Structure 1
Amino acid sequence: MEKSLDQVFKLTQYSHGAGCGCKIAPKVLDEILSSNIARPDNDKLIVGNDSKDDAAVYNLGNGTALISTTDFFMPIVDDPYEFGRIASANAISDVYAMGGKPILAIAILGWPINILPPAIAQKVIEGSRSICMEAGIPLAGGHSIDSPEPIFGLAVNGLVPVENIKQNNLAREGDILFLTKPLGVGILTTAEKKGLLKEDHKGVAARQMMQLNKVGEALGKTKGVHAMTDVTGFGLLGHLVEMAEGSGVTAIINFENIPLITPELVSYLDQKCVPGGTHRNWDSYGEKIGDITEYQKMILADPQTSGGLLIAVDVNAVEEVKNILQQNELEKFITPVGKMIALQQKAVWIHT
């Protein structure tokens, strides 16, 4: 039986990284972005590069703000259609993480034309179109280059009422923390690369990564949501450190409440299915974390691709947020995963 192009060309074999695990580590990124050049004054730029947030936000002056973001990476799955869907869901997530509504996407494609057939790239684009349709936005164009490795992502614009903007650095002492997707994507995809993934776990990570974080738009309308971000390549710990430090508070994680993509993650960790991004993450922010076991570290620093929303909620708005999660078929995630407390020596503490 003749093999299809998808079976002949395994996308993950043509790139050195995978998904959001390709992200440059936080400490290195800080060095890259450091500059002595003064930023021009612009009172309409509500959120810029200085706050480590998910997207830039620009006040249009009519009560509405423009959200602008871009995200791209190398294949985390072999199926090109799924790669397009995952990369697109991940990019669109940044708009939802700001509490906004996506309106337009532009494709970013790098393709090794002499190595991978254009027909495979076409499937990547088709996957992207399908996710854009789910989000209710057009894939309106894009830019492509001949590159050594396959790369795909989107530049996405969105709109949000200025009063509904959700930043990642406005959490407050006493806020309750929620997480809308389980952790462990990096571990499962690493297990698959090593040929160790169990048959009943095949497709589990991909299906989760293709889920849109649409609930972010509804959460944007909730006054009691003080801060929000999506969990991607820096792992839950990395994004929580950004939220805690930016907000001037400390986070406590209730580890037993952390949702896991499968309870069998420990067996994969025993088989050394740990992405390289996990170690890079820990090297970047490990000194900011309180006492932690090796198992907890491998879970909480695991790089996520198209991960869930991390939400800091006023205690008086907890029931409202739980109702929103339930209305969006996210009732599995109504158990808080932690809380914010007064600033302490460490940015994050772990309770077991």
Structure 2
Amino acid sequence: MSNNSSAAASEIECDFDGVLMRPFDPCDHDLDANFRLTRFADLSERTKKMPKDVLSKLMSIELKVKGQKETKPEPEPEPQQPKNALDISARGSVFTKPTTLFGDLQLVQGTDFGYPIIDDPYLMGKIACANVLGDVYAKGVVACDNMLMLLAVSTHMTEKERDTILPIMMRGFKDCAMKAGVNVTGGQSVVNRWCIVGGVATSVCKEIEIIQPNKAVPGDVLLLTKPLGTHVALNLHKWMTADGDKWKFLKHSFSEEEVGKAHSMAVKSMCRLNRITAQLMHKYGAHGAIAIAEHGLLGHAETLAACQQNDVALSICNMPVINRMASVATQCGDSFQLMRGRCPEHSGGLLICMDREASIEFCKEMITMEGPSARSWIIGIVAKGDKTVNFSKQRVIDVNI
């Protein structure tokens, strides 16, 4: 099976923001037919974020170097940090008092960067931008004031590939930022072995505009605003187009059409901003949220649980997953760790703590405002406890939108 025939069979025209988009074809841009953006990110099959326990160790070393008083090693999940503590494991941060700027104005920032995970440079730019904004929206901050773009140019790209692909990727990033109502005012670019794309989002806002993540109370439910399984869908699609041993192992259980639809659903989900979600979090009185990203559903739920002010525990019993991707993960021996809650997600949804009655209206209004693809799911509850997460006997919900 050739790369071209595989791509044609697995890609379908998709409606993004009301525009019908054809799959990216390198030949349309006078590039080699076998050009694949993901080949400039040979680390992309696994998340390459540094584990949280390693980061905690490095931060402990930093305190020693600075001569600060060393505290006990923090257990996993890490406890709530004091205001203004440095935590480079978190992708977003809120600088609160005493770093208030003027009056009650506060600075909220989110940053992230990663390798290309799809071959369409325009959509990859949009995904990167949506991913950066996710942490700002998780704080309930709707208006972003400024964005910077971070870009590493691969030394393995030819001059033609570089001059063709990077402007397209930058346009996708800027178009997504425009949809979010923010301008990209600059950034930084470097030369690197791998292609890397990301950015920084900054908002200056009043304290009332921020929803702190630590207000969960017993009786709340847990809402998830995007399906899981993006990492599985992207890798399955990559295996199919390469027609290697991994696809030969799976091809008798999953059709090319199913893989193409799962890939399309993943891309549309990753491109969708969490901005309206942030708006509705205020309307329906959310008690806290966190963006699901590289540490998976369970990893980020542990972080959310650990920072709570009240003695509560989170219990997760449902897992909405892109159609059939849970089956793919199971057949692969759960090497993705999807069923263990550790599978990374790309530009994932928000995990929100909210009153049960309010959550029902929240879900209805999300669909009214953004359409059927903006479904949300109640995946668990908040009960009295010791700031941990109960993650057992999950029911998989296959999502096919």
Bucket of the pairwise TM-score, normalised by the shorter protein: 0.7 to 0.9
Secondary structure in 2 matching 1:221 = helix
**Letter aligned with residue 223 of structure 2:** F
Q: Does the 8 Å CA contact 1:183/1:260 hold for their aligned counterparts?
A: yes
Alpha-carbon displacement from aligned partner over 1:75-126 (angstroms, at most 9, x marks no partner): 1111111211111110011111111121211110111245243221121111
CA distance in 1, matches of 2:151, 2:56: 26
Residue 127 of structure 1 aligns with which residue?
A: 172
**Letter aligned with residue 209 of structure 2:** N
Q: Does the 8 Å CA contact 1:186/1:274 hold for their aligned counterparts?
A: no
Secondary structure in 1 matching 2:203 = strand
- 1:137-152 to 2 correspondence within 5 Å? 137-152=182-197
CA distance in 1, matches of 2:198, 2:333: 26
Secondary structure in 1 matching 2:166 = helix
Q: Within the alignment, does 1:261 sit opposite 2:302 as a pair? A: no
Match of 1:187 among 223, 232, 240: 232
- 1:65-80 to 2 correspondence within 5 Å? 65-80=106-121
Match of 1:217 among 263, 278, 287: 278
CA distance in 1, matches of 2:34, 2:220: 50
CA distance in 2, matches of 1:52, 1:313: 25
- 1:52-91 to 2 correspondence within 5 Å? 54-58=91-95, 59-91=100-132
Change (3 A) 1:322 1:206: closer
Secondary structure in 1 matching 2:200 = strand
Residue 284 of structure 1 aligns with which residue?
A: none
Displacement, 1:147?
A: 0.6
Match of 2:48 among 22, 26, 33: 22
Q: Does the 8 Å CA contact 2:116/2:196 hold for their aligned counterparts?
A: yes
CA distance in 2, matches of 1:6, 1:141: 31
Displacement, 1:139?
A: 1.1
Change (3 A) 1:318 1:66: same
**Letter aligned with residue 107 of structure 1:** M
Match of 2:215 among 170, 173, 179: 170
Alpha-carbon displacement from aligned partner over 1:37-69 (angstroms, at most 9, x marks no partner): 449xxxxx9555359655222333333322112
Displacement, 1:153?
A: 0.5
Change (3 A) 1:207 1:112: same
Secondary structure in 2 matching 1:22 = coil
CA distance in 2, matches of 1:348, 1:254: 8
Deviating more after overlay: 159-168 vs 13-22: 13-22
**Letter aligned with residue 71 of structure 1:** D
- The answer for unaligned runs of 5 or more in structure 2 is 5-25, 70-81, 241-246, 248-255, 395-401
Secondary structure in 1 matching 2:47 = helix
Deviating more after overlay: 315-324 vs 218-227: 315-324
Change (3 A) 1:175 1:50: farther
Corresponding residue pairs, total: 325
Q: Does the 8 Å CA contact 1:178/1:333 hold for their aligned counterparts?
A: no
Change (3 A) 1:68 1:345: closer
Change (3 A) 1:209 1:321: same
Query: Alignment RMSD, CA only?
Result: 2.9
**Letter aligned with residue 31 of structure 1:** K
Q: Does the 8 Å CA contact 2:213/2:290 hold for their aligned counterparts?
A: yes
Secondary structure in 2 matching 1:144 = strand
Q: Does the 8 Å CA contact 1:84/1:124 hold for their aligned counterparts?
A: yes
Secondary structure in 2 matching 1:13 = helix
Q: Within the alignment, does 1:118 sit opposite 2:179 as a pair? A: no
Residue 13 of structure 2 aligns with which residue?
A: none
**Which gives a bigger RCO, structure 1 or 2 (Cα 8 Å, sep 6+)?**
1
Q: Within the alignment, does 1:340 sit opposite 2:372 as a pair? A: no
Q: TM-score, normalised by structure 2?
A: 0.72
Q: Within the alignment, does 1:31 sit opposite 2:91 as a pair? A: no
Change (3 A) 1:319 1:115: closer
CA distance in 2, matches of 1:31, 1:108: 27
Change (3 A) 1:10 1:239: same
